[in-house]
Every structure is written in C-alpha cells, then in structure tokens.
C-alpha cells in the first residue's frame, strides 16, 4: 500500500450499498473532495472490486441482500487487513426499516 500522507485526497474509497441513491450521494461528495471512488451494490461485488483496486477505505452498508454488510466487513478484514472500514446504516426508504418502538398516534386517546 502506498503512503498517501502528502496527498490525502488520493485515497481510493469503495462504497458498498444496495441503494443506488446512497451510493451516488456518497460518490458525489467524496469525488468533490478529491477522492477516487468505486461503487458496488452488494458484498460479493464489493469484495472483488476491493481486491482488484486495492482500496484504502470501504464504506459498507450493514443491511444488504445477499452477502450482508457484517459478512462483507469480516471478509475484507480477513483478506485485506490494511483496509480501513466504515460500517453504516442508511436507508432512504422508511418501509425497509423495522420499527424500534411502537408508533405514537397523537389523535388517539388512552383515557377512559
């Protein structure tokens, strides 16, 4: 791995997320900051790209179909221990999130 301390924005970043809008958003922000960015929509593709491109950092969604984020992170850590990892949970579609607490309906009354 090359030392990039003199030119930090030459880091190679891989974004692995099944949501195309999230990948696009991260790509645009990171490229604008001067980073080289690749995208993968699932874990297996991400692993192949990381191996081929020798990425410095992988941003991995934890909830994906196929090879989930944690499996992907463990494989990246095993195969490429030098890669830095960021695990994220980001969803643009609320219907894909499981409720963590009961919803509150302000119009209902529990008083008798």
| Triad 24, 22, 31: Cα angle to 5° | 40
The reply to whether the predicted model has a pTM over 0.85 is no
Band of residue 98 on the pLDDT scale cut at 50, 70, 90: low
**Both tokens assigned to 81:** 């221990």
Q: What are the structural domain ranges in the chain? A: 8-92
Q: What is the pLDDT of residues 41-72, one digit of tens each?
A: 999 999 999 999 989 999 999 988 888 889 99
Looking at 3.40.50.970, 3.40.50.800, 3.20.20.70, 3.40.50.2300, the CATH number of the domain 8-92 comes to 3.40.50.2300
The pLDDT of 87-95, averaged and rounded, is 72
Decide if pLDDT at 36 tops 50: yes
Contacts 24+ apart (CB under 8 A), 71-74: 71/43, 72/16, 72/43, 72/46, 72/47
Q: What is the pLDDT of residues 20-33, one digit of tens each?
A: 999 999 999 999 99
Strands lying side by side in the sheet with 12-16: 36-40, 12-16, 57-61, 84-88
């Amino acid at each position: 791995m090359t030392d990039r301390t003199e030119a930090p924005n030459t880091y190679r970043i891989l974004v692995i997320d099944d949501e195309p809008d999230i990948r696009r958003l991260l790509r645009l922000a990171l490229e604008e900051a001067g980073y080289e960015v690749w995208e993968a929509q699932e874990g297996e593709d991400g692993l192949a790209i990381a191996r081929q491109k020798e990425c410095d950092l992988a941003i991995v969604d934890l909830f994906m179909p196929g090879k989930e984020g944690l499996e992907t992170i463990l494989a990246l850590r095993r195969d490429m221990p030098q890669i830095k990892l960021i695990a994220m949970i980001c969803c643009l579609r609320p219907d894909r999130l499981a409720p963590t607490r009961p919803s509150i309906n302000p119009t209902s009354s529990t008083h008798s």
